[in-house]
Amino acid sequence: MCGRFETQSSIQSLVDALKEYEIDLELDLKTEPSKSVNIAPTNKIFSVAYNDSSYRLSLSNWGIKFSEKSPLIFNSRIETIQEKPFWRTLFDKNRTLVPMSAYYEWKKEGTRKIPYRIFLPDEDMFFVPALYHIDKDKNIFSSLITTTSNNFTKNIHQRMPVILKIKDGINFLLNDADANLAQCIPYNGKMEMEPVTL
């Protein structure tokens, strides 16, 4: 799953990282998120999208709600995206990237649940692909894409966010749906986790 995460890398770090790939990131920000650690559903988060031949960093609300009566969808299962035409179309047309430095999962130890920070030791930042929806008031809402856990994380949760390194994230914004589905698999690189206090 992914119920909490952090984005401790600065905007400038993100801009500089993309410049290495000859991408000039446009900033569409009136404010910045109020939290960089223990970010929760409904909080404001950064998202990077590719529209009209430009890459743009915007603020979005974590969680898609299509109507007043619909549930808040803060994670979208890749299996559902593959199987259902509505979600497949959204995946093809409305894709974005959420920058992270780590995400959190809670592990039951005895009678307690301990939060663990899960991160890539060789990367200060990575991307999690997401779907977005824009309402009639031009507010942006995002839902993170999840997949089954890899061998490293399966003992703490059966789901994990799809994790893409920066170059793979850029490709995700440019590729077609079939190529992107092939990218949405459990991460197979080096990961670490550490208990934290939140």
Widest CA span in the chain? 52
Token readout for 48 is 């990077």
**Taking 70 as the threshold, does the pLDDT of residue 1 lie above it?**
no
* Contact present, 153 and 189 (Cβ < 8 Å): no
CATH number, domain of 68, equals 3.90.1680.10
Collapsing DSSP to helix, strand or coil, 169 comes out as: helix
Stretch 26-47: mean pLDDT, rounded? 91
Residue 12: its pLDDT value, please? 92
Q: What percent of the chain has pLDDT over 70?
A: 99
Residue 70: its pLDDT value, please? 85
Residue 9: its pLDDT value, please? 87
Stretch 14-40: mean pLDDT, rounded? 91
Q: Which pLDDT tens digit goes with each residue over 159-168?
A: 999 999 999 9
Count of domains for the chain = 1
- Burial code (b: 16+ CB inside 10 Å, e: under 16) for 36-55 equals eeebebebbbbbbbbeeeeb
**Taking 80 as the threshold, does the pLDDT of residue 90 lie above it?**
yes
Question: What is 3-53 written as a DSSP string?
Answer: SEEE--S-HHHHHHHHHTTT--EEEE-SS--S-SSSB-TTSEEEEEEEETT
Most confident option among 1-5, 66-70, 87-91 = 87-91
Note down the domain range covering 83.
4-195
Stretch 93-101: mean pLDDT, rounded? 97
Residue 68: its pLDDT value, please? 80
Write the CB contacts of 85 (distance below 8 Å, at least 6 apart in sequence).
none
Stretch 86-107: mean pLDDT, rounded? 96
**Taking 90 as the threshold, does the pLDDT of residue 24 lie above it?**
yes
Question: Cα–Cα distance between 183 and 24 in angstroms, integer?
Answer: 24
Q: Using pLDDT thresholds of 50, 70 and 90, give the confidence band for residue 177.
A: very high
pLDDT: which is higher, 10 or 121 = 121
Write the CB contacts of 75 (distance below 8 Å, at least 6 apart in sequence).
1, 2, 143, 144, 145, 146, 159, 161
**What residue type is assigned to position 137 of the chain?**
D
Closest among 89, 115, 86 to 193, alpha carbons compared: 115
Stretch 74-99: mean pLDDT, rounded? 96
